[in-house]
Homo-oligomer: A and B are copies of this chain.
Amino acid sequence: MRENRVRSIWEAGGAVVNGWLQIPDTFAAEIMAHQGWDSLTIDMQHGPVDYQAALRMLQVVGTTDTTPFARVPWNEPGIIMKMLDAGCYGIICPMVNSRAECEAFVGACLYPPKGYRSHGPTRVTYYAGADYAANANNTVIPMAMIETRQAVENLDEILSVPGLVAIYVGPADLAQSYGQPPRMDHTDPFMVDIIERIVAGCRQHKIYAGLHTASTDYALHAIERGFQFVTIQSDSRLLASAAGAAVKAVKSGQKTGATGGSTSPY
């Protein structure tokens, strides 16, 4: 069985550097898969990707040792199981706000008797190996999003659900649920305090904590605070920023001093 490198990094005490795929295309996914990310998450909630595109992206990510995850659109067993069968080694589930919701989510990720996942690893077996079914429950990572005030209030109960491995903080939704603007990379004490309480809860329950960030500096800051899974922006934001900067540089007429790509001309 192919290992889940995210688990290996965690067990070694490290932090996972996660990329975020919102462009529903296999070539963009292949480019991302070659940039050194420890894992890549296909965003099926806010990213414009659906199942058929995600399947093909998963097939391509599988050419490298980057571990594939997906964020599903909603806490529904149909799509969760479908993405696991398609080859995901981790599922990020939005808006897990209560113990019951977390149980439903985790159960969909695990085969009986731990959960109620249906058996049929049609495609994932080609990715993971013929012994997938026997090892899936110890490999797959259910990762519940903590991103509402209600979830924070129910944190202990959510983190107590057997089989839950990790949580993922969505900073924009979290802020919004507290009446704050939907920003990321929070530095105001109010939001920072809430996030630190989530991390503390995770430490207590031996649950790994992940965070979506908008900058590498904040990602490093998050690792320092105890997060072991950090996402930096997304393919779409990285492309927009890089392209916008290139246009601006030429239109403004200001040379950067950076040498051209003479060694990577393709």
Query: What sequence of 0s and 1s flags, for each residue 72-84 of chain A, a beta carbon within 8 Å of any chain B beta carbon?
Result: 1110111101100
* CB contact between A250 and one of B22, B59, B220, B238 (< 8 Å): that residue: B220
Q: Note all chain B residues with C-beta closer than 8 A to A220.
A: 249-250, 253, 255
Identical chains bound together, number = 6
Q: Note all chain B residues with C-beta closer than 8 A to A94.
A: 118
Interface stretch, picked from A25-33, A160-168, A194-202, is A25-33
Task: List residues of A (133-178) whose CB comes within 8 Å of B's CBs.
Answer: 133, 147-148, 170-173, 176-177
* CB contact between A48 and one of B23, B79, B122, B171 (< 8 Å): that residue: B122
Task: List residues of A (97-138) whose CB comes within 8 Å of B's CBs.
Answer: 111-113, 116, 118-123, 125-127, 130, 133
- Whether B261 and A176, one on each chain, are in contact in the complex, defined by CB atoms closer than 8 angstroms, is no
A10 sits at the interface (CB 8 A): no
**A residues whose Cβ falls under 8 Å from a Cβ of B:** 17, 19, 22-28, 30-32, 34-37, 43, 45-53, 55-56, 59-60, 62-63, 72-74, 76-79, 81-82, 85-86, 94-95, 111-113, 116, 118-123, 125-127, 130, 133, 147-148, 170-173, 176-177, 179, 182-185, 187, 213-220, 223, 230, 232-244, 246-251, 253, 255-266
A-B contact pairs, 21 of them (CB 8 A): A22-B27, A23-B25, A23-B28, A23-B31, A28-B28, A28-B236, A31-B240, A35-B247, A45-B81, A45-B120, A46-B85, A63-B126, A111-B182, A113-B179, A118-B173, A119-B170, A120-B266, A216-B249, A216-B250, A235-B239, A235-B243
